[in-house]
Structure 1
Amino acid sequence: MTILPFDHLTPEERLTLIGELWDSLDQRDIPLSDAQRVELERRIAEVDAGTVEMIPWEVVQAKLRARRR
């Protein structure tokens, strides 16, 4: 496998590329450990039960950006 140089990209461009690569994977392509699977199932059950507060991604992004300043 050939690894392409990415140093010409800005950090933001590299993060965007990482996101696009991640999004291109099928869910079945991402192996989970038993502990990860248990945690994922626990979180899904909480959402299904309505026992957790859902926070829109835009709100999370804004809070993270504010923390970086």
Structure 2
Amino acid sequence: MERAIQNPPPGFDELTVNEQIEYVQALWERIAAREDDVPVPEWHRAELDRRLAEYEAAPDAGRSWEEVEADLRASLAMRR
């Protein structure tokens, strides 16, 4: 039997946006802590398999996070 969930919980709308974000993050952390209980749709699994196969076929095709981050920071610096 499913429970009816009140959306949003009482008092949520009185929180600041930052507090609402913190609340939602805390909820997600509680859910993610039980990772074996979190359902993973089949299409997510298929996409992960596809990406892994793509990486294994050409492991040097991408760029490192450090390279991407440096480009993003340079691009943002030019906008300022």
TM category, shorter: 0.5 to 0.7
Mapped pair 1:8 → 2:35: no
Summarize the Cα distance change of 1:53–1:10 in structure 2 as closer, same or farther, 3 Å threshold: farther
Summarize the Cα distance change of 1:15–1:37 in structure 2 as closer, same or farther, 3 Å threshold: same
Unaligned runs of 5+ in 2: none
Summarize the Cα distance change of 1:41–1:54 in structure 2 as closer, same or farther, 3 Å threshold: farther
TM superposition shift of 1:21 = 0.8
In 2, the alpha carbon distance for the partners of 1:20 and 1:30 equals 16
Bigger RCO of structures 1 and 2 (CA < 8 A, at least 6 apart)? 1
Larger radius of gyration: 2
> How many residue pairs align between the two structures?
58
In 2, the alpha carbon distance for the partners of 1:37 and 1:29 equals 16
TM superposition shift of 1:50 = 6.6
